[in-house]
């Protein structure tokens, strides 16, 4: 497998019950597919110790932490200082996921926006990338990202991007990144693939969002980090690139954005 291109699953959820008792197998299967590194995402800060423990127990696993927008009204409002404190861990490499989701939780829009701005401030102060979840909130998302960037630069990835071309352009204009999930490989995702095809290839990441959104031929089944390779192969086609070249480019992109993960060395 030494000639298998190496890629990173930039967003998965290894603490979810779908992976209970299977983490050794999941990490090994990922390695076989060329997925040599993954970032597991904490969506509720009360679960941060458990997510951190997964990263500590598995060399290829890093983690990020934040309050998911769909949980913003149910979870205690975090603070910039609390996020900065968590970010001191050597394997904590991103702030979030945070963002706006008005699909099911539009009634909590105000607290979502407050939470988002706190996470942005933490990303700005730590230098770690912000990890954004956006659904049915494009106008507010673009507005807040721009307003906050004017208050001070920060880096950001639009995780599992499946929003409008206008939001993609707003993010790209700020120097942010778009992440391809299994959605980009769905047969009916032509418009989404067109958005990615029009984006600079040096601003693209790949992810699974596992256990959700498995790409073909596994659609409808439990997603797993190994399947990043299937999304990346479809991504290479979308970008008109050889798979090895696309894999190398997304690796370089990941390491530029998630520089803390790139710089991490396992202690001897």
Q: How do strand 35-42 and strand 61-65 relate by DSSP bridges? A: parallel
The DSSP-derived string for 9-46 is EEEE-TTSGGGTT-HHHHHHHHHHTTEEEEEEEESSGG
13 assigned to a ligand binding site: yes
194 assigned to a ligand binding site: no
Q: How do strand 204-206 and strand 130-135 relate by DSSP bridges? A: unpaired
Query: Hey, is 106 helix, strand or coil?
Result: helix
11 assigned to a ligand binding site: yes
Which tokens sit at 58?
């598995």
Contact 37, 261 (CB under 8 A): yes
36 assigned to a ligand binding site: no
103 assigned to a ligand binding site: no
Contact 179, 157 (CB under 8 A): yes
97 assigned to a ligand binding site: yes
- 96, containing H or E segment: strand 92-101
Which tokens sit at 264?
């991490």
The annotated binding site for a divalent metal cation is made up of 11, 13, 97, 133, 159, 209
The annotated binding site is made up of 11, 13, 97, 133, 159, 209
């Amino acid at each position: 497998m030494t000639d298998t291109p190496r890629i990173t699953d930039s967003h998965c959820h290894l603490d979810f019950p779908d992976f209970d008792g299977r983490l050794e197998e999941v990490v090994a299967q990922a390695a076989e597919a060329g997925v040599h590194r993954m970032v597991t995402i904490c969506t509720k800060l009360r679960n941060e110790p458990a997510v951190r423990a997964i990263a500590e127990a598995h060399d290829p696993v890093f983690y990020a932490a934040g309050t998911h927008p769909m949980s913003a009204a149910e979870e205690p409002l975090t603070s910039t200082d609390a996020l900065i404190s968590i970010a001191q861990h050597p394997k904590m490499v991103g702030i979030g996921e945070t963002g706006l989701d008005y699909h099911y939780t539009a009634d909590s829009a105000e607290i979502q926006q407050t939470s988002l701005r706190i996470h942005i401030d933490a990303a700005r102060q730590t230098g770690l990338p912000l990890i954004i979840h956006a659904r049915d909130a494009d106008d507010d998302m673009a507005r807040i990202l721009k307003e906050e960037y004017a208050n001070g630069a920060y880096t950001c990835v639009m995780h599992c991007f499946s929003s409008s071309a206008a939001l993609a352009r707003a993010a790209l204009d700020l120097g942010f990144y778009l992440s391809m999930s299994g959605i980009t490989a769905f047969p009916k995702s032509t418009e989404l693939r067109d958005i990615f095809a029009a984006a600079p290839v040096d601003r693209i990441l790949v992810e699974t969002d596992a256990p959700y959104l498995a790409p073909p031929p596994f659609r409808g089944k439990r997603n797993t980090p190994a399947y990043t390779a299937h999304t990346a192969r479809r991504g290479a086609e979308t970008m008109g690139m050889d798979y090895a070249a696309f894999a190398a480019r997304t690796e370089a992109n990941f390491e530029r954005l998630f520089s803390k993960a790139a710089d991490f060395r396992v202690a001897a």
